[in-house]
Amino acid sequence: MLKLTRFIKPYWFVALLGPLFMLLEVCMDLLQPRLMASIVNEGVMLGDLGHIARTGLVMLVVAIIGLIGGACCTIYSTIASQNFGADLRQELFQKVQSLSIRSLDRFGAGSIVTRLTGDITQLQTVVMMVLRIFARGSFMIIGSLIMAFMINPKLSLILLAMIPLLVVFLIVTTRVTIPLFSTVQQRLDDVNTVMQENLSGIRVVKAFVRSDYEEARFSKSNTNFLHASLKAAKVVALNTPIMSIILNFSVVGALYYGGVLSEEGSLSVGNLAAFLTYITQLLQSTLGLGNQLMVISRAKASADRVNEVLDSSSDKSVADKILANVATLHAGRLEFRHVGFSYEGVSKHPVLHDINLTAEPGQTIGIVGINGAGKSTLVSLIPRFYDVTEGEILIDSINVNDLAPEQLHNQVGMVLQQALLFSGTIRDNIRYGKPEASQEEVEAAADAAQAHDFIMNLQDGYDTMLGQRGVNLSGGQKQRLAIARTLLMKPKIVILDDCTSAVDLNTDLRIRQSLNNIMKDSTCIIIGQRIASIEHADRIIVLEHGEITAEGTHHELLSRSQLYRDIARSQQGA
């Protein structure tokens, strides 16, 4: 957790004011029993009404000062904790943006959402608690002990005897609860993952009438979360009663010995009452501190999870390499040299093996193969969604690993089969990669993607608001907007991953004709399930089991490749 204290440093002054004002409140609270003792000893016992009135007025002023101190502590600790949470959340989100797809796959979307929300909220609450409640408890324990010693040192030794027992108990409890709370957060990740998958695929769930299955799957994750939470809660539940037993034994001992001293005349009634008040304050503060330590132990688990993401390697390159290569990346020549790839922890067998491929600027390369051949994985290596495990990929003779992600992604435009749009206007979605684009540029890109006409038929045209993931558009419309978004950037390398699967053949043809005109100087890689989408390519490669088994033009492959011929004939028959 100490690693995250850097997020509170910019607000150190405000963070310091919180405990200082709390110290003021505690001091005022600690004065009250002494003032009450004075009323009993010098007012009630001696019948001095004037002393009672004067001391009562002082107690009122002290209470008001304490109230002001407590209010100011709440204000400043809230400011510090809220800013801490906002900065931590912002940096964690920025870190997520810089992670490779491989790293994101390792964490999982549900886990990242939990860390960005629940874990940071937990840490934010702890900062607030430490600056306010924890500070109050600590000050009150120390202050109560000091005031009790000032009243009667011998009687206070009983309180000191319990401190080692409490410390040992809290250390053991904290060590036990931290792993339990880590498990609780992991089970919460599972719940979020199941919920996200269900919501994003709700149409599939309903289409296949799998609501019962999804409910059972969620119930299993929810039950696991419940059991983990209850297990942690049972340990925490033991905290208060055990501490109460230790403290109450001390209180009973202090009461007995205090009564003896009072009978002997060495301890006045007022001082005994004040001493008992300090014991009560000490008891309440110690119990509260023990419960707060349980919250801190849970926050420790959250801090470890947040640090795990923050400490992950970013998808960044060395600065001097970036600067050295900026001026040399201009043409868009693409080359695969003995490239191999395996998904981490999924299979011992490589997804891609010994891929050698060169694409010159202005060329169109088609990729075809059966499902699972590695087509999408192959093109995902170009923008470094995943890094190669063997060989290298070069753009203009520069290894893609030596390019800054921003520089690489500005040169490589990719349109996926599952077009992802964001909530907002159609215009904002098209110029997502080029926010400064003019309306004329937006319309030109939409027209090239055969999207302009259907956009203008919408009531608000380019100002039409899209729902999450473009839910209010058809699949073909979403694909055309995704194509327009990429065309607007005019990248040197264009990757189309079966991105016209939801449009009809005539629209597909018009899109390809537009690409030939607009992107004639760019390198174009097209994955196509339909032969009609790639038959115009300058060169087509056939991918089987992660290897290139044939290469050539459409007509050459009809005679050379049995697989290509089978795919073509099956589609002609259809």
Q: Which domain holds residue 118?
A: 2-310
Mean pLDDT across 462-467: 88
How many CA atoms are closer than 13 Å to the CA of 146, on its beta-carbon side?
10
Residues 338 and 445 in one domain: yes
Q: Using CA atoms, how far apart are residues 237 and 434, in angstroms rounded to an integer?
A: 55
Q: Which of 250, 279, 310 is the last residue of a domain?
A: 310
pLDDT per residue as tens digits for the range 520-541: 888 999 998 888 888 889 999 9
Residues 304 and 327 in one domain: no
Predicted local distance difference test score (pLDDT) of residue 348: 61
Helix axes 153-200, 269-310, angle to 10 degrees: 30
More confident residue, 499 or 375: 375
Residue 254 pLDDT exceeds 80: no
Residue 317 pLDDT exceeds 60: no
- Which residue in 36, 91, 32 sits closest to 65, CA to CA? 32
Residue 324 pLDDT exceeds 60: no
Residues 334 and 191 in one domain: no
Average pLDDT, the chain: 83
Concatenating the DSSP letter of every residue in 203-233 gives HHHHHTT-HHHHHHHHHHHHHHHHHHHHHHH
Residue 505 pLDDT exceeds 90: no
Q: What is the tally of structural domains in the chain?
A: 2
Residue 322 pLDDT exceeds 50: no
Contact criterion met (CB below 8 Å) for 526 and 470: no
Predicted local distance difference test score (pLDDT) of residue 180: 84
Mean pLDDT across 91-110: 82
Mean pLDDT across 110-136: 86
Concatenating the DSSP letter of every residue in 72-110 gives HHHHHHHHHHHHHHHHHHHHHHHHHHHS-HHHHHHH-HH
3 state DSSP class of 544? strand
Mean pLDDT across 213-226: 88
CATH of residue 140: 1.20.1560.10
Q: Using CA atoms, how far apart are residues 364 and 362, in angstroms rounded to an integer?
A: 7
Q: Using CA atoms, how far apart are residues 240 and 77, in angstroms rounded to an integer?
A: 26
Residue type, 59: M
Residues 254 and 394 in one domain: no
Contact criterion met (CB below 8 Å) for 70 and 78: no
Residues 254 and 353 in one domain: no
Least confident span in 58-62, 85-89, 173-177: 173-177
Q: Which of 290, 310, 330 is the last residue of a domain?
A: 310
User: 117 phi and psi, to 5 degrees?
Assistant: -110, -75
Residue 328 pLDDT exceeds 70: no
Predicted local distance difference test score (pLDDT) of residue 549: 92
Contacts of 131 (CB under 8 A, 6+ apart): 15, 18, 19, 22, 73, 76, 77, 80, 81
Residues 463 and 495 in one domain: yes
pLDDT per residue as tens digits for the range 17-60: 999 999 999 999 888 888 887 887 777 777 778 888 888 898 89
CATH of residue 370: 3.40.50.300
Residues 279 and 382 in one domain: no
Q: Using CA atoms, how far apart are residues 463 and 342, in angstroms rounded to an integer?
A: 43
Predicted local distance difference test score (pLDDT) of residue 303: 86
Q: Which of 310, 329, 360 is the last residue of a domain?
A: 310
pLDDT per residue as tens digits for the range 413-459: 888 877 788 888 999 999 988 889 999 999 999 998 899 999 999 88
